[in-house]
Structure 1
Amino acid sequence: MRTVRLDLAYRGTGFRGFAANEGVRTVAGDLASALEQITGEAPALVVAGRTDAGVHATAQVVSFRIGGEGLRRITDGTPQDTGLDRLASSLNRRVNPDIAITAAALADDDFDARRSATARAYEYRARNAAHPDPRFADLEWHVRDRLDLDLMNAAARHFVGEHDFRSFCRRPKDRPGASLVRTVTRAQWHADGALLLFDIEANAFCHQMVRAVVGHCVAVGRGDRSAKNVPAVLAARDRHAAAPIAPPHGLTLVAVRYTDA
């Protein structure tokens, strides 16, 4: 058995999220189907960051274990060669244009796309203008109300550091007692004309955390919330204390970091 690492990008518009879900189209479902056509089996996929319906990725990472005939088919019988260009090409013929495999390689046996990751980074796009740009309607949150970028950054700075993000996360149903403590190393808004870009990086994110943080920052930018009150909202550890979450389509996973990469 060997571990395979896939680096991929996808436009989340047509998918009901990454994770396989019976009866709906998902990134994992399309990817597993293509792998089964190529290898003769559908290996269990491990993903660095599960994305919700409508969320995009430019730098997602997936790993899976494979051996026997399936391994022989993707390595030409030479598993000592770590590059799997033929696998990437075969997958892309089946999953393009909504998914793109940007790299495929044999990884160390102990590599796990999720557990081996040391950090993830997301970008959120919001267009602050009277009208949306139809070219990017499925990639940006259109916010008509005037936003104060300085206030939004004042709010964002409070999220940097180690915090319990219970006020900004949906608690996992399968693990109700799981810790929601996360360490954010970067959280900042930038303006490019009417386009506002939010960059955030952390060791890990809980469910809907980035969208909740963005939604709260936008509420501050509108004047509906106070930037100075963010520490109190964090301390409340109550999902109802924060502003409504931002829509999913403005969010993109842009980086997954590993100690050896």
Structure 2
Amino acid sequence: MTQRPWPCWSLLRARKKTIAARRARAVVAYDGTNYSGFQRQANAPSVQAALEEAIREVTGEKAGVIGAGRTDAGVHGTGQVIAFDTAWIEDEAPPETDREQRCAGDLQRALNAVLPADIAVRELRLAAPDFHPRYDAVSRQYRYTVYNAPVRSPLARWHSLHVMGALDVNAMQEAAALLVGEHDFAAFGRPPTGDSTVRRVLTAEW
């Protein structure tokens, strides 16, 4: 385990009694180019596995990361909410205190110090013990980018779809408007057992 000069971790290591784990909530951003997706895969790199390895390296804990959603291979995330349990933040620190916030900030900086350059923890704080990023989510936002130009852009190739010809933006807007409302998306994939395939789209526009 890598030793890090973080005050809260030094305090935790010095204490003799068992430290109760607490639930941490974090917002992460990642470039998904080099990953098979967010969810852990048996024989391929994933964002979830990279996060869990960083937590293990920093804290020595084998924590399971829960994500708000699963992105596919090559898909990027700017605000993926995750949760995991950790004893890094001492259990005697009262909620929402300066000491608790400092410990959460220490953990965020420590994770960013060991994570790959294409993954970053944007924010981290404590959450309620039963907080679940997926089931407590109110909505999700997705962005699809089209690079519309005669010649492709080497800098945009991993973050957009290149379309050389002219786009009929009015027709695109009309088609997008048809998605707004409540629809059954069963034809787009197989949901986890027991989940409904009906979703409500709040906005859709180009």
Q: Which residue of 2 aligns with 1:212?
A: none
Matches of 1:2 and 1:93 in 2, distance apart? 22
Q: Residues 146 and 161 of structure 2 are in contact (CA less than 8 Å); yes or no, is this contact kept in structure 1?
A: yes
- 1:138 to 2:158 alignment: yes
**Which residue number in structure 2 is paired with residue 98 of structure 1?**
118
Equivalent position to 2:38, from 18, 26, 38:
18
Structure scoring higher RCO (CA < 8 A, sep ≥ 6) equals 1
Runs of 4+ in 1 over 6 A off after TM superposition: none
For structure 1, the residue ranges without an aligned partner over 5 or more in a row are 190-261
**Cα separation, 2, equivalents of 1:142 and 1:104:** 35
The residue that corresponds to 1:163 in the other structure is 183
- Identity among equivalent positions (%) equals 37
Contact 2:51 2:115 in 1 (8 A): yes
- Partners of 1:162 and 1:138 lie apart in 2 by 31
For 2:22 and 2:90, locate their aligned partners in 1 and report how far apart those are by CA, in whole Å.
14
TM-score by length of 2: 0.82
The one of 63, 71, 74 aligned to 1:43: 63
What one-letter code is carried by the residue in structure 2 that aligns with 1:146? Answer: A
**Alignment CA distance shift 1:76-1:65 (3 Å):** closer
Pairs within 5 Å for 1:55-66: 55-66=75-86
The alpha-carbon deviation at position 109 of structure 1 amounts to 1.6
Q: Distance in 1 between matches of 2:132 and 2:197?
A: 21
Q: 2:204 aligns with which of 187, 202, 213?
A: 187
Q: Aligned-pair RMSD on alpha carbons?
A: 1.6
Q: CA deviation at 1:78?
A: 4.6
SS at match of 1:9: strand
The aligned length equals 180
Partner Cα separation in structure 2 for residue 101 and residue 181 of structure 1: 31
Specify which structure has the higher proportion of helix. Answer: 1
Measure, in 1, the Cα distance between the counterparts of 2:105 and 2:93: 13
Matched position secondary structure for 2:144: strand
1:111 aligns with 2:128: no
Q: Following superposition of structure 1 onto structure 2, how do residues 1-261 of structure 1 map, counting pairs within 5 Å?
A: 1-66=21-86, 71=87, 74-75=88-89, 78-80=92-94, 81=97, 82-83=100-101, 84-167=104-187, 169-172=188-191, 175=193, 178-189=195-206
Runs of 5+ unmatched residues, structure 2: 1-20
Length-normalised TM-score, structure 1: 0.65
